[in-house]
Amino acid sequence: MASVKGVPVYRQARRPVSARVTDLIGRMTPVEKVAQLRAAWLKLMPDGRALLHDRMADQGREPWTFLKHGIGQVTRPFGTHPVAPRAAAGALNAVQKFLVEQTRLGIPSLPHDECLSGFMAQGATQFPTPLNLGATWDPDLIREMAGIIGRQMRAVGSRQGLAPVAT
């Protein structure tokens, strides 16, 4: 697999996505591929540490061994339990730094949190439920609310919002 100036194709942002994906998949071991399909449920602590959540096999331990081959997702890092956003963001940044600098391929995770009626994190804004939002008949207001939720999530490193709604 070709690289430019020692930089693997998958790390070259200007290359076509298809070329980057093909290069990355070709470099991955089966263990690394499976790791990208997994999620780590982390408990971000006020002191800036990240621990494996109580419902994971190595509960209460630091996640570094669990993450050594990478991880696809970090599950609800801000909504697992109350913790100040700044401390939680520091802990999540430490996890991302480990994944980028200490795993073979350097793939960051995709942190996701609940956001049905606002970012479910300590200190974040909560909004009316979807049923109430629908009753406003005001799509612009709802878009504005969604923008606020997105900005609050991005500000602390959460990149995917989960907002399940049954119709």
Model pLDDT for residues 10-35, shown as the tens digit of each residue: 999 999 999 999 999 999 999 999 99
Q: How many helices, marked H, and strands, marked E, lie in the chain?
A: 5, 7
pLDDT of residue 163: 87
Tokens of 1: 């697999």
* Assigned domain for 4 exists: no
Mean pLDDT of the chain: 91
To the question of pTM greater than 0.85 for the whole model, the response is yes
- Domains in the chain, number: 1
* Assigned domain for 42 exists: yes
Report how far residue 74's alpha carbon sits from residue 161's, in angstroms, rounded to the nearest whole number: 12
Length of the chain: 167
Q: How far does the chain reach from its first CA to its final CA, in angstroms? A: 47
* Pair 103, 67: CB distance under 8 Å: yes
* Assigned domain for 44 exists: yes
- Which residue is it, tokens 């890092």? 77
Boundaries of domain holding 123:
27-158
Task: Tell me how crowded residue 129 is: count the other CB atoms within 10 A of its CB.
Answer: 13
* Assigned domain for 101 exists: yes
Question: Which CATH number do you get for residue 150?
Answer: 3.20.20.300
For residue 53, name the pLDDT band (cuts at 50, 70, 90): confident
> 3-state class of 107 per DSSP?
coil
* Assigned domain for 81 exists: yes
* Assigned domain for 6 exists: no
Residue 103 has pLDDT above 90, yes or no: yes
* Assigned domain for 14 exists: no
If you average pLDDT over residues 37-47, what whole number do you get?
92
* Assigned domain for 11 exists: no
Report how far residue 79's alpha carbon sits from residue 106's, in angstroms, rounded to the nearest whole number: 26
pLDDT per residue over 133-162, tens digit each? 999 999 999 999 999 999 999 999 999 999
